[in-house]
């Protein structure tokens, strides 16, 4: 696995749990997780996201941001969690809860995408409708390990750097296919993304998200996983 899209390749699909979010009583096995991430990627392509384009995603501990992250990675986009109120012109898609969309100022070069409730503005896409109706096949985009993947705190990390750091987390925390990794930290922290959202899927483990999530804890006041350097 050289890029994040490889982590959701067809042969990774199984009935094992990939993602669980107890607060909203939703879960995805690896089959549904991969397929849903492909759909998110194909939808992003449909609204003009291509390699190197920015995708800004709400720091929200529910499935939609996680699936969008993987979908964006599959088409070569550069993800930032926790967008600022003034959305920059290099952001092609802004993905946030419907209740929050009016808090952001963005121009016509940025496509608004909301989840939870349908948007009042017809120019804004609706995740539950538009993503779920997409083609359930892996996006065809070609992505390289040196391509940028994640932007946070003024730094940009490539696919290769993120996967390399994720493998170090797996080794240090002894994460395997039977593990459950509890993500309690913010997605705005790139080390939480690496250790909590990427490493478990690379290892075939389960991610569970939320302040009361149980398992190998990533983030929060008493994490079980040490911070790893990315890059």
pLDDT at 69: 98
What average pLDDT does the segment 34-47 reach?
98
Q: What pLDDT is stored for residue 226 in this prediction? A: 84
CA 56 to chain centre: 10
Terminus-to-terminus CA distance in the chain, angstroms?
Answer: 17
Are 183 and 19 in contact, with CB atoms under 8 Å apart? no
pLDDT at 139: 95
The structural domains of the chain, with segments of one domain joined by +, span 4-218
Output the pLDDT for position 13: 97
Q: Predicted confidence band at 212 (pLDDT cuts at 50, 70, 90)?
A: confident
Q: Looking at residue 43, what is its pLDDT?
A: 98
The model's pTM is: 0.97
Give the pLDDT band of residue 230 (cuts 50, 70, 90). very high
pLDDT at res. 50? 94
Phi, psi of 191 (to 5 degrees): -70, -30
**Is residue 231 predicted with pLDDT exceeding 90?**
no
Residues facing residue 112 across a β-bridge? 94
Q: Which residue has the tokens 């994490």?
A: 223
CATH: 3.40.50.12780, 3.10.620.30, 3.40.605.10, 3.40.250.10. Which one for 4-218? 3.40.50.12780
* Beta pairing partners, 182: 208, 217
At 141, is the pLDDT very low, low, confident or very high (cuts 50, 70, 90)?
very high
Q: Which of 95, 85, 28 is nearest to 59 (CA)?
A: 95
CA angle 76, 200, 84 (to 5 degrees): 50
pLDDT at 142: 95
Extended beta strands in the chain, E state: 17-21, 26-29, 54-57, 78-81, 91-97, 111-115, 125-126, 148-152, 155-158, 180-183, 206-209, 216-218
For the chain, the C-alpha Rg in angstroms (whole number) is 16
Determine the pLDDT at residue 197.
98
Mean local confidence (pLDDT), 113-134: 95
Does residue 81 carry a pLDDT above 90? yes
Nearest to 38 by CA among 63, 5, 11, 81: 5
Alpha helix positions (H), 9-153:
30-46, 63-74, 127-130
What is the pLDDT confidence band of residue 227, given thresholds at 50, 70 and 90? confident
- pLDDT for position 189: 97
Residue 84: closest CA among 128, 54, 64: 54
For the stretch 164-192, pLDDT in tens is 999 999 999 999 999 999 999 999 999 99
Whole-number Å distance between alpha carbons of 86 and 229: 29
The predicted pLDDT at position 213 comes to: 86
**Segment 207-226 mean pLDDT:** 91
For residue 223, pLDDT beyond 90: yes
164's enclosing H/E stretch is: helix 159-173
Question: Is a pLDDT exceeding 90 seen at residue 211?
Answer: no
């Amino acid at each position: 696995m050289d890029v994040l899209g490889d982590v959701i390749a067809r042969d990774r699909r199984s009935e094992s749990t990939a993602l669980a979010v107890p607060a909203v009583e939703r879960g995805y096995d690896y089959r549904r997780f991969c397929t849903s991430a492909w759909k998110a990627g194909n939808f992003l392509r449909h609204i003009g996201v291509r390699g190197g384009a920015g995708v800004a995603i709400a720091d929200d501990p529910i499935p939609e941001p996680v699936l969008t992250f993987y979908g964006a990675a599959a088409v070569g986009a550069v993800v930032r969690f926790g967008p600022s109120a003034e959305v920059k012109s290099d952001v092609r898609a802004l993905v946030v809860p419907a209740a929050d969309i009016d808090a952001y100022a963005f121009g016509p070069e940025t496509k608004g995408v909301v989840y939870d409730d349908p948007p009042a503005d017809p120019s804004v896409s609706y995740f539950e409708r538009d993503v779920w109706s997409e083609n359930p096949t892996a996006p065809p985009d070609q992505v390289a390990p040196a391509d940028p993947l994640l932007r946070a705190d003024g730094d940009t990390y490539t696919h290769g750097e993120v996967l390399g750091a994720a493998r170090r987390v797996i080794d240090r925390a002894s994460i395997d296919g039977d593990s459950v990794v509890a993500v309690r930290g913010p997605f705005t922290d790139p080390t939480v993304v690496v250790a909590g959202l990427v490493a478990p899927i690379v290892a075939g483990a389960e991610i569970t998200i939320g302040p009361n999530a149980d398992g190998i804890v990533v983030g929060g006041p008493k994490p079980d996983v040490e911070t790893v350097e990315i890059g």
